[in-house]
Amino acid sequence: MDPLNIVVTDSTPKIYLNKESGKFEITGRSFPEESRVFYTPVYAWLEEYAQNPNEETLFEFKLEYFNSSSSLIILEILNILDSIYKNGKKITIIWNHLTIDEDMLEAGEEYSELVSLPFEYNALEDFD
């Protein structure tokens, strides 16, 4: 399965999904003009991954900002991962947020209440 690598822009996050290396991350800001269109390759990749996932998946979010349409997309991504988790694979969500950004921490906590996935929260001084 080929990795998915979407390059960061001013309005879209870096997305790197690699089954072989076990690296799964969404990093940056997410407010594309058409969220559904932008995230279509991510859905397709995750749906294929769900057919034969790794025994353990660490999926890392490191978002500075996301708009409401991206919020719905993030939940859909978490739902795909939740279905893998419910099928017996170990999945952990790493939710990174800036120390000063309580809203982003709360967003992660709200997502964790909507799925059965284990979440870990990392407060960071910056996203370097």
Q: Which of 39-43, 72-76, 96-100, 123-127 has the lowest mean pLDDT?
A: 123-127
Rounded CA-CA distance 18/12 in Å is 19
Q: What's the domain range around 80?
A: 4-124
Average pLDDT over residues 106-123: 98
pLDDT in tens, 7-29: 999 999 999 999 999 999 999 99
In the numeric block, which tokens belong to residue 110? Answer: 């709200």
Question: For position 86, which CATH number holds?
Answer: 3.30.750
Q: Cα angle vertex 93, ends 90, 95, to 5°?
A: 165
pLDDT, residue 97, reads 97
Contact (Cβ atoms closer than 8 angstroms) between residue 24 and residue 18? yes
pLDDT at 112 over 80: yes
pTM of the model: 0.95
Q: How many domains does the chain have?
A: 1
